[in-house]
Amino acid sequence: MIPLVFPDYNNSLLNLVNSILKYYNVDLGYNGLKSLNNILKKDYKNVIFFLIDGLGLEIIKNHHETCIFLNESITDEITSVFPSTTVAATTTAITGLPPITTGWIGWQQYFKEENRNVVLFLNKDYYDEEYEFNYNISEKYIKTTNIYELISRANPQIRTHEVFPEFKTKEHDSIDSQVNSIKKICDSCEENFIYAYWDKLDVLLHEHGVGSLEVKNHLFEIEEAIKKLKDDLDEDSLIILTADHGQIDIEGIELWNYDDIISLLKQKPAIESRATAFYIKDGFDELFEETFNKHFYGKFILYKTEDLIKTGLFGKGEIHPKVSEFLGDYFAIAIDKYSFRLQEAKHTHKATHAGLTKSEMMIPLITFTGRNK
């Protein structure tokens, strides 16, 4: 049986971010990470919060011969938030709030006002790629305040920076180029907070699988770049490195082939392939539950959404008013290697995330300072 891990909101990505915020005199009401709080007792000229998409704890450990420095620098083992997916986790990383509060749950979310499933990162319809919105959906319905704003308000002397990959900053076509940009910022006279995000590992994991040569080669690039960052910075610079989630090799289930399930849906499923929201026609809840479990018991856990929210899987705090709408009537969570395919696609993933397995949920806290020059 594949080991499962539930989010621990006293030892998670949420707490990591809140440790950083507390360091800058911002308190959102969530506990920090004890292991990181101790490190942050010292004053630093530069704090670099580096999130590498897909760099789960199990991936680092399974590639231990490649990730020597990364493994040696692990300070703590923590959980992601739920779902263990980029949309939910990176939003927590840049807001300090859990998914239950931000409303950012997964790759594509259903908005009843639009009657469409929206890919939030792309501002596009998931099931109709040709449809275009003429305004930003997330800005209108689930706008958030990021940690840079919070830090700047409380600390006007701190300069805040984003260092993003090529999709946002053209010259950052490699992790080396990102590291060089971080170095330039840290060499300035100001005190700096930097949030850096790197995405290529996640893409390679999806395309080739967790044990692939392509992933191994890129992990070596990451390892060398992070070692270079340590060598290039002074000891007054703290690097806090983590991930949003890990990944697991999967076997796809083509959901559209299950007519007895599709016939009970009033609209198409939402969120993620391993954390899926279902919207059921009136009066068919019991039949849906029975039919779903007939096909997928042992592969997915099926929750009534109202019960799922009470479990605290999405975190605690103020519940975003659209959360119930986003989560549908029933919510299925992967507990094995299986993953729903929600629409036909030219390319299918070999590995993915968003479920509750240890490989997806556990992430590293890696910390180090620059070398004493």
pLDDT attached to residue 343: 87
pLDDT attached to residue 159: 97
Was domain 251-348 assigned CATH 3.40.50.2300? no
- Comma-separated ranges of CATH 3.40.720.10 domains in the chain: 13-100+144-247+358-369
pLDDT attached to residue 302: 98
Q: Which pLDDT band holds residue 129 (cuts at 50, 70, 90)? A: confident
pLDDT attached to residue 345: 72
Query: Is pLDDT above 70 for 5?
Result: yes
- Comma-separated ranges of CATH 3.30.1360.180 domains in the chain: 251-348
Biggest alpha carbon–alpha carbon distance for the chain: 70
CATH class of 13-100+144-247+358-369: alpha beta
Query: Is pLDDT above 60 for 373?
Result: no
pLDDT attached to residue 346: 62
pLDDT attached to residue 372: 56
pTM (whole model) above 0.85: yes
